[in-house]
A and B are shown apart, each in its own frame.
Chain A
């Protein structure tokens, strides 16, 4: 299947979870995907999960909260904070608001729920399901991959522990949603050894958890596809031995500038090599397509970067159209 078809598939789904190792650009990719889907007429909500310092607002210049905030045509953003998610879900189980308040105002219950592993995950996923009922597409910018796996694991575990009752009901609903074709997980990686290791591990952990959760696309962010010819590589290698590249012993005159050019070239050559090997390794060791998102100049603000990534994705769609 062509890459463009995969991206179309993603844009046509109901819930897209985006995860990957820390620092890979998950949020930028989530914003780009959400914007692209919104521009194609789907009503999208872009959510991050219980973030002490929400990062999505930096892309739009608008603060987020529990209630989705409209930031563009067809596009809203939200932060799924766990205490609100808990109250929201309890409200569906115990219809009287007064009683929900009473339960939640009990110090012991709050303390217990706060530290009990699993309670966060269930109510946060319950909120994602609720958002999917009022929007065409929910794009969820998840925390780093380790946390993402425990997030998905909890509802499966809950089915083993809760044999009856409302938690079993919601856990069942969550598991069914995770298994449905409308739910997709995408991974974001960088062309670096450690990141690729973790990406491959995460892909397999997801596949082991439920084959339906295995990601079909890995975005290889900040990659460089090769442009240097073989001859250029050879010459660059030779130049690197003739120019003193040691920043500790700068040579006078032109040699300093020459070192900068050669270093810049070496970095890009290395990036090209690691991009190709990362892409091949991901495709060989997982069943996912690796899509290179080129190295873009940062520094002009978050929003700018996300728009550039969006343009890249759009380009991929047009290529295969």
Chain B
């Protein structure tokens, strides 16, 4: 399968991988390509480079979708982009899942909520799956999008992302709630409650955490009690979506060891969880010939007419420089080839495998995404 087929067949493409490997550019380029081919596409992104964000109309951060003007799109083709704003979304989330104003206020004003919102709110992995749920439940069934491309935050290991949908549900686990709320359940007799092992453990927790904290915590759990079902519903919907046949996970990585280790881990987890693993995009590959090249004389001839206004030593100096730079490039390319060989061993039969060379200029606009797309979708143009 090539990337062209994958993007045509799927409705959700999740780009995963370590940081700094160009995931955002790859996700945006896939979106642009699909829009050009006539699909209605949403790219849900985290933190694009400023200039690319400007080019996509995302200059102002906000949790709403922007239309990206795409020249030469096939009829019906449309590209929208949405940048996740992790600062405000956790409070928004609590507002959305709270059944009434009283519950909402009780939660937002609880001291323990502060710690929790810092922790969950700063978890971009968690917030991006929350946002995906919103986008999918409001956009997909109504047919607003043919394709959603999710650019995920950089993670050190696959679990950080793949386990993120359930984080809140695990925290709000019914059993934990019940256990912690037992001493505060008015229907039970307090003395009887604290008998047995649980009672001893609970008293010890009182020693460790302090009684006031346990009281605060119980108040917090009491307020949160009604929210469990809402979170569970969201969690299960995202897990279903991850496992659906219309979804594909695409690993984006760079040809260096830390990135390869993250890729290994993702592929392992995809297999363990039975998730649809689309393949690998190896980005930013340095290419060089296996042997030194004797192109000094050729470049010297070429430089002659180009250097008349420069001092005489510039040509030999630059050529010596280029020879050294090429030698370094060969060393880098050799090391990368080893990593690429190991990546190639990750069960790729029938899956996407694309190597993208490191482009001479950084990607700053849609034209840059087009340059990237020449490598991502190398087939002959349809038209």
Contacts and interface: CB of A to CB of B under 8 A. Distances in A.
Interface of A: 21-24, 51-53, 55, 90, 93-94, 99, 102-103, 106, 108-109, 111-112, 114-118, 143-144, 146, 149-150, 153-154, 157-158, 160-168, 190, 192-195, 197, 227-229, 231-232, 234-236, 238-239, 242-243, 245, 247-248, 254-255, 257-258, 260-268, 270, 295, 297-300, 302
B327 to A, nearest CB: 8
Contacts of B360: 245, 263, 266-267, 270
A99 B335 CA distance: 53
B154 A22 contact: yes
A133 B379 CA distance: 62
Interface string B320-347: 0111011011011011101000000000
Nearest to B314: A231
Contacts of B212: 163-164
A164 B119 CA distance: 22
Interface string B34-77: 00000000000001011100000000000000000000000000
A297 B335 contact: yes
Interface stretch (B99-107, B226-234, B300-308): B300-308
B315 interface: yes
A166 B208 contact: yes
Contacts of A231: 310-311, 314, 317-318
Among B19, B47, B201, B257: residue with most chain A CB under 10 A: B19
Given A257-B298, A297-B332, A297-B335, A117 B119 contact: yes
Given A228-B321, A257-B298, A161 B213 contact: yes
Contacts of A247: 287, 357
A115 B295 CA distance: 61
7 contacts: A22-B18, A52-B159, A102-B200, A144-B154, A153-B118, A163-B210, A167-B213
Nearest to A263: B360
B89 to A, nearest CB: 15
Interface string B160-180: 000000010011010110011
B359 to A, nearest CB: 9
A176 B357 CA distance: 49
B208 A94 contact: yes
Contact of B325 (A166, A265, A298): A265
B185 interface: no
B74 to A, nearest CB: 23
B345 to A, nearest CB: 18
A309 to B, nearest CB: 15
Given A24-B20, A229-B317, A248-B374, A165 B208 contact: yes
A23 B18 contact: yes
A267 B374 contact: no
B122 A53 contact: no
Interface in B72-116: 111-112, 114-116
Nearest to A104: B201
A260 B326 contact: yes
B353 to A, nearest CB: 17
Given A109-B201, A242-B306, A261-B326, A299 B167 contact: no
Nearest to A266: B360
Contacts of A118: 115, 119
B118 A23 contact: no
Contacts of A144: 19, 154, 156
Given A22-B18, A111-B173, A149 B122 contact: yes
A240 to B, nearest CB: 8
A98 to B, nearest CB: 12
Contacts of B49: 193-194, 197
Contact of B298 (A116, A258, A265, A268): A258
B20 A260 contact: no
Among B175, B209, B362: residue with most chain A CB under 10 A: B209
B244 interface: no
B210 A267 contact: no
Given A144-B156, A299-B334, A103 B205 contact: yes
Given A195-B20, A227-B321, A260-B293, A53 B157 contact: yes
A258 B299 contact: yes
Given A23-B19, A150-B122, A165-B209, A298 B332 contact: yes
B50 A197 contact: yes
Contact of A257 (B116, B207, B286, B293): B293
B131 interface: no
A211 to B, nearest CB: 20
Nearest to B167: A115
Contact of B293 (A146, A168, A261): A261
A108 B179 contact: yes
B21 interface: yes
Contacts of B261: 53, 55
A297 B111 CA distance: 50
Contacts of A154: 115, 118-119
Contacts of B336: 299
Nearest to A241: B306
B289 interface: yes
B6 to A, nearest CB: 21
B176 A111 contact: yes
A70 to B, nearest CB: 26
Contacts of B18: 22-23
A167 B176 contact: no
Nearest to B317: A232
Given A53-B157, A103-B201, A161-B115, 13 more contacts: A23-B19, A102-B201, A103-B205, A103-B208, A106-B197, A111-B176, A118-B115, A165-B213, A235-B310, A239-B306, A260-B287, A267-B325, A297-B332
